[in-house]
Amino acid sequence: MSADAGLDLIRTALPTGGPPVTLRIAYSGGRDSHVLLHWLAGQRAALAPHRLRAVHVEHGLHPDSGRWADHCAAVCAALGLPLDVRRVDARPARGESAEAAARTARYAALAADMQAGDLLLTAHHQDDQTETVLLALLRGAGLAGAAAMPGQRRFGPGWLLRPLLDWPAADLARYAHAHALQWVEDPSNGDARFDRNFLRGEVLPLIGRHWPAASAGLARHAAHAAEAQGLLDELAAADGATADTLAVTQLAALPAARQRNLLRGWLRVHGVPAPSSARLETLRHQALTAGADRLPYLPLGEHAVRIWQGRLHLTPQPLPATPTGPVQWRLDAPLDLPGIGRLQAQVGAGTGIAAALLGEPAMVEVRFRSDAGGGKTLKKRLQAMAVPPWERGRLPLLFRGAQLLQVAGQAPRTQARAAAGQPGYRIIWQAAKD
């Protein structure tokens, strides 16, 4: 076992200076996570002053899930480690696989308590990495998929670490038996209807008998793929992948392979799962051939790419709904518009909307284009302000009576501005992140 390498990975990720952080151990009650828990409990002195804390996610998908949580509580008590039990609804949505639903619910629960600098430690090992590589290759994934699971990645305000990633499953089994560990067995792990279980139970034993070093070899392949993908990510960043929007001219100036790499990198930077090769090619074609009078739109799961004025924009899919009617806003407190953004007002002299127009206490009515009136005049004003078409109905419009005072994010209208030396309210608009 490469225990030293796993411990070094954790130490490197811990912050230097500042207050202690929490190392949160994902503990299912199964053998692998029990090995991780037991091993880390023995490293408390080496990891001090940082805290160890176990987290068990109860999915509620098996009749014995409550008993498993009780088992985890007993093991943690014996080791002197605190345990948090998080219960989730892991039932799959329509069209979603049971595996994907459980994974999404589990990681959401594990992320819920993370604080800045905290580490989430999971028990993924070398054989898990082998399975992940093979599943990716069978799907036809590129380098990012073949790179499989990184040993460390960002996770909320902290980090997710896999300190056992170079431990073969056989080593974990030997450790568990040597320390007389007791664990629970989830019967679903033997259900060969699930792809990963089929690989683990039917395919990999055959491969291992003929190629005993296959698991280690595929893990090395993942490391090589990760290194190569890192170089492609650097190239994409140099080509502009970190920008909020992409210029079509910038994309068109590149060879086709770099165009695809830039699009993949841009989507990845902004948290969009990699699209299929066919979907990516559709996006590339639309970007390069869209006429100036067109507004191409390509949905990608929970996001969409929209092309406007020669640039690619990412938006949520679908766009969050705006309030159904006007919203009264008293300017002495911020106004949160869920999925839309946040409005704040700062009092000053000779700045913003003239206080004399707003009454006492100062109030405005926030409307959206659907109920603001104004017709073509307002439409032309928003066009002149270069507001993207899909945002025009979502941009807050500040009214007092029938008078439009200001469009959020823009200067107040001339007739509404505070004169020099006169009190006014400067409006600060923060659009919601996509």
In 3-state terms, what secondary structure has residue 261? helix
User: Do residues 254 and 238 make contact, with C-beta atoms less than 8 angstroms apart?
Assistant: no
Neighbours of 233 (CB within 10 A): 18
277 is in an annotated binding site: no
User: What stretch of H or E contains 27?
Assistant: none
Q: Which residue has tokens 């969050």?
A: 320
28 is in an annotated binding site: yes
How is residue 379 written in tokens? Answer: 């439409």
29 is in an annotated binding site: yes
Closest CA to 218 of 228, 229, 207, 232: 207
| 427: Cα within 13 Å, side-chain hemisphere | 33
How is residue 204 written in tokens? Answer: 């990999």
The whole-angstrom separation of Cα 273 and Cα 269 is 10
Instruction: List, in order, residues 6 or more apart from 360 with CB less than 8 Å away.
Output: none
Backbone angles phi and psi of 75, in degrees to 5: -65, -45
User: What stretch of H or E contains 61?
Assistant: none
Cβ-in-10-Å burial (0-12, 13-18, 19+) of 239 comes to buried
**Helices of type H across 14-64:** 31-41, 44-47
Backbone CA torsion sign across 43, 49, 50, 51: positive
How is residue 242 written in tokens? Answer: 């970190």
291 is in an annotated binding site: no
List, as residue ranges, the binding site. 28-33
List, as residue ranges, the binding site for ATP. 28-33
